Homo-oligomer: A and B are copies of this chain.
Amino acid sequence: MAQSQGQRHFPLPEAEAPTHWYNIQADLPVPAPPVLHPGTKQPIGPDDLAPLFPMPLILQEVSQERYIEIPQPVQDVYRIWRPSPLIRATFFEKALGTTAKIFYKYEGVSPAGSHKPNTAVPQAYYNKESGTKKIITETGAGQWGSSLAFAGQHFGIEVEVYQVRASYDQKPYRRAYMETMGTKCYASPSDRTEIGKSILEKDPKSPGSLGIAISEAVECAAGVEENKYALGSVLNHVLMHQTVTGQEAIKQMQMAGEYPDVLVGCTGGGSNFAGLCFPFIGQKFRGEASKPFRVVACEPASCPSLTKGKYAYDFGDTGQMTPLIKSHTLGHTFMPPPTHAGGLRYHAMAPLISHLQEIGELEAIALHQTECFEMGELFAKTEGILPAPEANHAIAAAVREAKKPENAGKVILFNLCGHGHFDMTAWQAYSSGTLKDYDYPEAEVAMALSGIPPVPDN
């Protein structure tokens, strides 16, 4: 073929797909702090988590093995959409007028349209193997609920989703997707749980939050022996499942004859960021990286856990039902402003990512959503993919890197974690000029931080 531009697509053959997940805990120069029991404030053991998760996932959560084999049935289901594309953004580069080489790993080709099925599939599989009858979870933007809905029906396991009320009302199509997959979906707060009822008593019109929805799902799961809970981000095993992304990207960058100078990902709970970056950071820890590189985590200015949060032990949910995790937190009662990147509206960061920041392995920046949508629009017009609001953050951060004089000719790789086809309300707001930016809500965060639990380390 005649071609007036460089190669764009670097499809990885199926036979080259990863057979193992990569566990960064094996290579950490300093181990990450343990998860604590909220009552005893002592490190929790596997049995403490048994009411919530099946044992294989609990063992993965604490494993120090570098590579954990992906069960064959999970590898098979990954083949539905993986290996995912790695694309050089030739048209986007041209529109920016940059000499930087911009690559993106595209996770929007998955069944639910984001990276979330990478962990939903193994979580459904291990639950099925362990005899779980029903998996209960929460969803904010709807990506996670959709992913578990897909994975659950695939392995013949029931899924029940508590969807944040605001999202339940504003994104009926996400719910339609889940219902098409046979999943039952409830608006949260609901009258199906004690925590939900108590919140509705105080505020019958509560728009809900991820923290509340987590509490409801945990309450439902913990109450019945054969029910389990599932989380779509934050936890070690969830981040580990995402590493298929980065492992594929390493091989695809080899196909492109390049190695990144800068890695970029957006962070809410941290899982898409970890999925792309951990395998590269692991190479660095083991002295196997082709060259030094920087790692940039990008979060919303309105919910800036990494850039403004306190590194402390805190609950993962509003209802204080989870164990205590050490992370950059804005306080478990913090209610983030209503930006459109629902997947980035979480008060805390994955412990492993917080730890990497503490030991100096990554940089974090916070961006307003208008800048993100502007860059997302340019990306959509040039690269032909309409990104999710969350992914817009990674795009905008990659553009900031591309514009730095010292990055002339350098290689930037970011994770395009999902498409925005179910987020058109956000794009309508942007097109019509009604998109609002929200500053860092200092007073609210201060109040929320005053409520984090008294732990010696805090």
A interface residues with partner B (beta carbon < 8 Å): 1-5, 7-9, 11, 13-17, 19, 72-73, 75-76, 79-81, 90-91, 109-111, 113, 117, 150, 153-154, 172-173, 176-177, 179-182, 377, 380-386, 419, 421-422, 424, 427-428, 430-432
A24 to B: closest C-beta gap in Å:
22
Tell which of B109, B177, B386 touches A180, judged by Cβ atoms closer than 8 Å: B386
Residues of B within 8 A of A431 (CB): 176, 179-180
Give the complex CA separation of A243 and B188 in angstroms: 49
Knowing A109-B109, A384-B110, A386-B177 are in contact, say whether A75-B3 is a contact too (CB < 8 A). yes
Which residues from chain B contact A182 at a C-beta distance below 8 Å?
Answer: 381
Q: Identify the interface centre among A79, A179, A377, A383: most chain B CB within 10 Å of its CB.
A: A79
- Show 11 residue pairs from A and B whose CB-CB distance is below 8 angstroms, ordered by the A residue: A4-B72, A8-B79, A11-B13, A81-B384, A110-B384, A117-B384, A154-B382, A172-B428, A177-B386, A180-B380, A180-B427
Cα distance, A427 to B180, chains bound together (Å): 7
Contacts of A1 in B (CB 8 A): 14-17, 19, 75
Q: From known contacts A1-B16, A9-B14, A19-B2, infer whether A80 and B383 are also in contact, taking CB-CB under 8 Å.
A: yes
Decide: A377 near B180, CB < 8 A? Known: A72-B4, A81-B384. yes
**Closest B-chain residue to A17, C-beta based?**
B1
Q: A178 → chain B, closest Cβ, in Å?
A: 10
Residues of B with C-beta under 8 A to A432: 179
Cα A381 to Cα B156 with chains together (Å)? 11
**Contact B421–A153 (Cβ < 8 Å):** no
CA A7 – CA B17 in complex, angstroms?
12
Nearest chain-B residue to A108 (Cβ)?
Answer: B109
Contacts of A380 in B (CB 8 A): 111, 180-181
Among residues of B, the one whose C-beta sits closest to the C-beta of A109 is B109
Number of chain copies forming the complex: 2
Expressed in whole angstroms, the Cα–Cα distance for A194 and B427 within the complex equals 33
Nearest CB of B to A39, in Å:
42
Known: A180-B430, A377-B180, A386-B177. A7 touches B3 (CB 8 A): no
CB-based contact A79/B3 at 8 Å: yes
Task: Given the known inter-chain contacts A3-B79, A180-B430, please indicate yes or no for A381 contacting B153, CB distance below 8 A.
Answer: yes
B contact residues around A76 at 8 Å (CB): 3-5
Residues of B within 8 A of A427 (CB): 176-177, 180
Residues of chain B within 8 A (CB-CB) of A153 are: 381
**Are the CB atoms of A80 and B2 closer together than 8 Å?**
no
Contact between B421 and A176 (Cβ–Cβ < 8 Å)?
no
Q: Tell me how far the C-beta of A91 lies from the nearest C-beta in chain B, rounded to whole angstroms.
A: 7
Q: Are B75 and A176 in contact (CB under 8 A)?
A: no
Which of A76, A110, A172, A386: most chain B CB closer than 10 A? Answer: A386
Q: Given A8-B79, A113-B421, A173-B424, 16 more contacts at CB 8 Å?
A: A2-B19, A8-B80, A9-B11, A9-B14, A11-B13, A80-B91, A80-B384, A110-B384, A153-B381, A173-B173, A177-B424, A179-B428, A180-B386, A180-B431, A181-B380, A182-B381
Most buried by B among A5, A176, A182: A176
Chain B: minimal CB distance from A118 (Å): 12
State the CA gap A432–B180 with chains docked (Å): 9
In the assembled complex, which residues on chain B have CB atoms less than 8 Å from the CB atom of A7?
Answer: 14
Contact call B172/A424, Cβ cutoff below 8 A? yes
Please determine whether A75 and B113 come into contact, CB atoms closer than 8 angstroms.
no
- Cα distance A389–B358 in the bound complex, in angstroms: 50
A-B interface, 9 closest residue pairs, ranked by CB to CB distance from nearest = A111-B384, A421-B421, A173-B424, A11-B11, A80-B384, A176-B424, A176-B428, A179-B431, A1-B17
Cβ of A428: which chain B residues have Cβ within 8 Å of it?
172-173, 176, 179
A71 nearest CB across to chain B (Å): 10
Nearest-Cβ distance from residue A441 to partner chain B, whole angstroms: 29
| Docked complex Cα distance between A7 and B16 (Å) | 12
Cα of A110 to Cα of B380 in the assembled complex, Å: 11
Please name all residues of chain B whose beta carbon is closer than 8 Å to the beta carbon of A11 when the two chains form the complex.
9, 11, 13
Instruction: Report Cα–Cα, A382/B181, bound state, in Å.
Output: 10
CA distance A76 to B427 in the complex (A): 27
> How near does chain B come to A385, taking the closest CB pair, in angstroms?
7
A421-B422, A424-B172 as given contacts; A381 in contact with B15, CB under 8 Å: no
Nearest-CB residue, chain B, relative to A428: B176
